[in-house]
Amino acid sequence: MKRRKIAAGNWKMNKTFSEGRALASAIAEGMEPSENLVILGVPAIHLKAVANTAKKVKGLEVAAQNCHQAESGAYTGEISVDMIKSVGAKYVIIGHSERREYFNESHELLAQKVDATLSKRLIPIFCCGEPLSIREEGTHVAHVKKQLEESLFHLKTKPFEKIVIAYEPIWAIGTGVTASPAQAQDMHKAIRQLIADRYSERVADETSILYGGSVKPANAKELFSQPDVDGGLVGGASLKADDFLKIIGSF
């Protein structure tokens, strides 16, 4: 099975309800027919409205930006996988570097969130990546390997095949600094090899691996043209319909 090309937006903590509805509508109206997949990762207040918009457009889906690992309970302020599924979202972003850093999410916790997401037949977009200090030490592959081993590689082959991976060099998120196309390709190739070593070449070849880190219209085409880069997890540029539509058109 050929792996899908994906342009995923991560709105982070941005957009009021009316602003989010307008942005989703502008993206939906501007999309051209394609076999590629577009995913909007939106705050919880937008999930239902954006899912309703996405239903009308082939190739447009919605992701929650986080979930709780428990099915339900006394977890004020959290959102469960059942809640996410009930509004029509099909994806969940798990392990974003901001969640790891600001909310101290551990590898073990992320493994539980992955399991919770898959248990309800939703698809995790699992984020991994290294800070600048690790990159400068040259141990970035080992760093990402540990993230994958402790949060994903407990999965058997069938559930792992549903995973989308997003590689985020933390030093390039929101900084305006982007990994060069060669740096992105080298890391994506290394991740694909780690998957092949754990599962098989076939599974590795079918896994979509996205690049996340200051993706914008000016660099998307060159990044996405790399043989192991299957698209992007886009932050700031996904908040402007024109910019995001240009990125979607970069494949």
Sign of CA dihedral 198, 202, 208, 214: positive
Q: Which of 120, 122, 124 is nearest to 94 (CA)?
A: 124
Instruction: Point out the catalytic residue in the list 46, 61, 168, 188.
Output: 168
Element (H, E) at 231: strand 231-234
Give me the DSSP letters along 30-81: HPPP-SSEEEEEE-GGGHHHHHHHHTTSTTEEEEES---SSSSSS-TT---H
96 given a catalytic annotation: yes
168 given a catalytic annotation: yes
Instruction: Point out the catalytic residue in the list 46, 68, 96, 140.
Output: 96
Q: Give the Cβ contact number of residue 246 at 10 Å.
A: 17
Q: How far apart are CA 132 and CA 178, in angstroms?
A: 12
Which residues are catalytically annotated? 96, 168
